[in-house]
Structure 1
């Protein structure tokens, strides 16, 4: 999907890096023995977290509102941080090729740097007030008056 003057999400470096991470996590996951139930569970968590890195970028890319973009960014951050420490779970449950996981950690660090630039590019003026107070642009609070309340709406007769 593409909007006017907007780069397709598939061309965004952060989206591409997310796909690269997913592909690597999948390849490492393919090395996990199917009979090891604990490692299979860790593998499922890893794949789910890795998928969020591109899926949530795509969702945020097509969401106009700042709070929706920031919510997606928070989910991405959590997924990436969870992926960073999965090597410990793999090691704990006896995954023999755990050293390959450093490649994932290296890619996540590259992703983190792209993430910082991506979030900095969010339009802080395209927002509605987040009444929960988590994802408002700087200077906007959950109890602020909504500027849209001052718009001179005419009552339209919809009959």
Structure 2
């Protein structure tokens, strides 16, 4: 494959993550800076929205199954947290809640891309995860590493 095809920026999930980030920035800009509670939520929203594309790039660059699964886990957490931040804004009286459905809808589109993306992970391109969380089925933390130069940390 050519380098252009391998660039994570060309992947639909990466592009959707960037779209969610840009949307979140625009909505977060509506949060009054003098409201310390809402401003704190704003910071978390921006961080979580940024992770949606950053961790896709990390997974693609890492290539190994355990690295990809770790990034996928962080993406899932960030997406769910972003959803929760929208709910929190509603609970704390954010004036422009009518825009939050845009983030929720984009997150659902992202989730569908995420499911398809995770299915592409090659479980047999791995280093043994000595922590035992992200090994392929049947591989244990104490198993010998297929690439003896890696220690799994």
Check if 1:60 corresponds to 2:66.
no
- SS in structure 2 opposite 1:44? helix
Check if 1:33 corresponds to 2:49.
no
User: Considering only aligned residues, what root-mean-square deviation do their CA atoms show, in Å?
Assistant: 1.7
TM-score of the superposed pair, with normalisation by structure 1: 0.87
The residue that corresponds to 1:146 in the other structure is 145
Relative to structure 1, is the Cα distance of residues 146 and 40 closer, same or farther in structure 2, using a 3 angstrom cutoff? same
> Within 5 Å, which residues of 2 pair with 1:89-104?
89-104=88-103
Please list every run of 5 or more consecutive structure 2 residues that lacks an aligned counterpart in the other structure: 149-153
The total of aligned residue pairs comes to 148
| Alignment deviations for residues 9-51 of structure 1 (CA, whole Å, 9 cap, x no partner) | 1110000000000011000001111111111100000000000
TM-superposed deviation, 1:144: 2.1
Q: Quick check: which has more Rg, 1 or 2? A: 1
Supply the distance in 1 between the matched residues of 2:131 and 2:2 (Cα, whole angstroms).
29
TM-score of the superposed pair, with normalisation by structure 2: 0.90
| Alignment deviations for residues 78-98 of structure 1 (CA, whole Å, 9 cap, x no partner) | 000111121221122221111
Supply the distance in 2 between the matched residues of 1:4 and 1:114 (Cα, whole angstroms).
22
| Alignment deviations for residues 130-151 of structure 1 (CA, whole Å, 9 cap, x no partner) | 01110111221212233445xx
The residue that corresponds to 2:151 in the other structure is none
- SS in structure 2 opposite 1:85? helix
